């Protein structure tokens, strides 16, 4: 019976990943159409920042170099204690980029990230709100691709790719690990079963934010400014929530530099799950938990001789094979095709990591950007 459960879970896992692989393979890379690069759609790029002195100037430089020009930038300073705002003001003096700097009060009625976005929307003149983070880099055709895609599809909300910047072996591991939730979220949207997205590269109509009551119902959750909003929009407009498959629209962001920061980030992400009312997300999260719990239990039982370790190894090798196929299919479209050799290394520890993070996240306590949450 124990082996039957394992093989059944693995079979479901393989089938799902094969569907994902074929869906991704047969979705063509988007190419922007002829867009009036000055007037097609007014865009407000919203960037909440907290202590981003090492990154913000590079992002502003990237925005200065956009091929699409009908946009403004709104930076919301979330009580930074470094030189972030000083650097922004200096940049503003010597460049033509149109942007506004807003300061978030120390005490807000909702989570700081959501409060920052709500504040920005009060001042935004654009019809389209494009979110990114202060530690991100964007490519020259980032906005052009998004605007062209929105005009073609009449999308209410668009998610696009996010990858980690790679500096060393640690960041290579994190980049491939991060590709998994990014890919699952992207393909879920392609299949019109949205579950996950990332606020580092998320856009939506300003009007739709107010139509679905923005963050009402999850105001006090420190995470989820991206996914809860997507779930709301998808509930009312399931056919108008899109993933934009475009290399030129991908955003690069910093990975956690320390292991403890990585753990706290994943706890922050996982803590959202218990508050989901989106059925796709609930089912996916529960299945992933059961799947990895089985591997953790089976490995422990094989060590003490209660189950046949050879069968568990066979299951593990099959799992690594299908995961390698899945991440390999994604990697070439996310500039990561030279790093897929790290997949078996990640797989050895991944099940234990998933279960530990899932259990710890139930407490809802973690640190992020110098703040203790929960």
Q: Of 132-136, 254-258, 271-275, where does mean pLDDT reach its minimum?
A: 271-275
Confidence of residue 364 (pLDDT cuts 50, 70, 90): low
**Domain range enclosing 70:** 31-161+198-245
Residue 212 confidence (pLDDT) above 60: yes
Q: Is residue 356 domain-resident?
A: yes
Q: Is residue 36 domain-resident?
A: yes
User: Is residue 215 within 8 Å of 110, Cβ to Cβ?
Assistant: yes
Q: Is the pTM of this model over 0.85?
A: yes
Residue 137 and residue 202 in one domain: yes
Residue 63 and residue 81 in one domain: yes
Residue 205 and residue 307 in one domain: no
Q: Is residue 370 domain-resident?
A: no
Residue 155 and residue 291 in one domain: no
Residue 290 and residue 225 in one domain: no
Give me the pLDDT at residue 137, please. 96
User: Is residue 178 within 8 Å of 163, Cβ to Cβ?
Assistant: yes
What is the average pLDDT across 48-52?
91
Give me the pLDDT at residue 188, please. 94
Q: Is residue 258 domain-resident?
A: no
Residue 107 confidence (pLDDT) above 80: no
Q: Is residue 257 domain-resident?
A: no
DSSP for 171-220, please give it. Answer: HHHHHHHHHHHHHHHHHHHHTT------GGGEEEEHHHHHHTTTTTTSTT
Residue 15 and residue 127 in one domain: no
Half-sphere exposure of 329 (CA within 13 A, CB side): 22
Residue 77 and residue 215 in one domain: yes
Give me the pLDDT at residue 38, please. 61
DSSP for 275-322, please give it. Answer: G---HHHHHHHHHHHHHHHHHHHHHHHHHTTSS-HHHHHHHHHHHHHH
State the residue for tokens 């880099």.
137
Residue 9 and residue 84 in one domain: no
Give me the pLDDT at residue 219, please. 64
Give the pLDDT confidence of 280-309 residue by residue, as tens digits: 778 888 888 888 888 888 888 888 878 788
Q: Is residue 60 domain-resident?
A: yes
Q: Is residue 172 domain-resident?
A: no
Give me the pLDDT at residue 348, please. 83
Q: Is residue 221 domain-resident?
A: yes
Give the pLDDT confidence of 112-161 residue by residue, as tens digits: 888 899 999 999 999 999 999 999 999 999 999 999 999 999 999 999 99
Residue 203 and residue 235 in one domain: yes
Residue 14 and residue 101 in one domain: no
The CATH number covering residue 115 comes to: 3.90.550.10
Q: Pick 226 or 129 by higher pLDDT.
A: 129
- Closest residue by Cα to residue 255 from 357, 175, 338, 368: 175
Number of domains in the chain: 2
Residue 7 and residue 54 in one domain: no
Residue 10 and residue 108 in one domain: no
What is the average pLDDT across 97-126?
87
Rounded Cα distance, 221 and 223, in Å: 5
């Amino acid at each position: 019976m124990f082996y039957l459960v394992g093989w059944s879970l693995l079979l479901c896992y393989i089938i799902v990943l094969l569907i994902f692989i074929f869906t991704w393979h047969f979705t063509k890379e988007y190419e922007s159409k002829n867009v009036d690069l000055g007037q097609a759609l007014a865009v407000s790029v919203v960037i909440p920042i907290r202590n981003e002195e090492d990154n913000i100037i590079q992002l502003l430089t990237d925005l200065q170099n956009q091929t699409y020009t009908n946009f403004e930038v709104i930076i919301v300073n979330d009580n930074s204690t470094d030189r972030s705002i000083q650097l922004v003001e200096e940049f503003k003096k010597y460049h033509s980029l149109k942007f506004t700097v807003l300061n978030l009060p120390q005490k807000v009625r909702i989570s700081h990230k959501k409060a920052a976005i709500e504040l920005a929307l009060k001042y935004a003149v654009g019809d389209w709100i494009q979110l990114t983070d202060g530690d991100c880099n964007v490519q020259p055709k980032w906005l052009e691709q998004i605007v062209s895609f929105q005009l073609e599809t009449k999308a209410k909300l668009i998610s696009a790719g996010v990858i980690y910047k790679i500096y060393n072996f640690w960041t290579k591991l994190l980049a491939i690990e991060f590709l998994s939730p990014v890919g699952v979220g992207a393909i879920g949207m392609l299949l019109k079963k949205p579950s996950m997205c990332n606020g580092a590269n998320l856009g939506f109509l300003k009007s739709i934010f107010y139509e679905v009551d923005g963050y009402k119902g999850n105001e006090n959750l420190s995470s989820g400014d991206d996914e809860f909003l997507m779930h709301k929009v998808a509930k009312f407009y399931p056919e108008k929530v899109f993933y934009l498959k475009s290399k030129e629209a991908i955003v690069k962001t910093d990975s956690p530099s320390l292991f403890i920061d990585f753990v706290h980030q994943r706890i922050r992400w996982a803590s959202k799950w218990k508050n989901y009312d989106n059925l796709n997300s609930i089912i996916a999260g529960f299945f992933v938990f059961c799947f990895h719990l089985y591997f953790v239990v089976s490995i422990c039982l094989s060590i003490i001789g209660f189950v046949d370790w050879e069968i568990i190894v066979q299951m593990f090798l099959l799992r690594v094979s299908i995961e390698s196929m899945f991440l390999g299919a994604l990697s070439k479209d996310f500039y990561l095709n030279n790093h897929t050799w790290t997949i078996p290394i990640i797989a050895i520890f991944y099940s234990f990591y998933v279960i530990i993070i899932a259990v710890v996240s139930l407490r809802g306590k973690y640190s992020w950007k110098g703040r203790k949450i929960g």
